[in-house]
Amino acid sequence: GVLDVAGGHGELAFLLANLNGVRATVVDPRPLRVDRFARKLRCGVYHGTEPLQQFNTVRTPPADGSVRAPGHLRAFFDAQLIGPLLSGDMLVFEEALGRSRERAAQVDWTAKGLEANAEDASIHGGSADDAGSGDDRDEQPLRLDEEG
């Protein structure tokens, strides 16, 4: 599979999954937004350009209209995560990953870039400093079809 680091809204990973059958996971603190890409796929936009068809291994969208959404790890892929990963200590890495996911839950992407999410604090009943501290490791990646 492909790990799409800083994959934004997930377009590259979505295209790999739906035009090439490649499993892909986006690592980005922003939520995925693949609805627009799914509409374009269902309308045939990605299959309507003859010169590009040589690169698509999945020739047409499924007849039932289902699409595959990429996996998503809502986290920062930065030195605070990579250092523990490279150390080889899985416990330290898992703790760093948890902190990275907590930080990701505390930010929003705006026209100005990533900003602290003050709303998140009220949702979790705390301050912005402790927002997003819930354990969501069991959270499943967004899926728009029944298959994995």
pLDDT, tens digit, for every residue of 5-21? 999 999 999 999 999 99
Write the CB contacts of 67 (distance below 8 Å, at least 6 apart in sequence): 14, 18, 34, 38, 41, 42, 61, 144, 145
**Mean pLDDT computed over 117-137:** 40
Eight-state DSSP code of residue 54: G
Q: Which of 43-52, 88-97, 122-131 is modeled with the greatest confidence?
A: 88-97
Greatest Cα pair distance, the chain, in angstroms, is 54
Q: Looking at per-residue confidence, does 120 or 41 come out higher? A: 41
Calculate the average pLDDT of the chain. Answer: 81
127: tokens are: 């301050």
Tokens at 69, concatenated: 């959404």
CA atoms within 13 Å, Cβ hemisphere of 12: 12
Residue-level pLDDT at 73: 97
Scanning 48-89, the segments in alpha helix (DSSP H) are 79-87
Give helix then strand counts, H and E, for the chain: 5, 5
pLDDT top residue among 131 and 17: 17
pLDDT tens-digit profile of 70-87?
A: 999 999 999 999 999 999
Predicted TM-score (pTM) of this structure: 0.72
Segments making up each domain of the chain, as ranges: 2-73, 79-124
For residue 83, count other CB atoms closer than 10 A to its CB. Answer: 12
| The amino acid at 131 | A
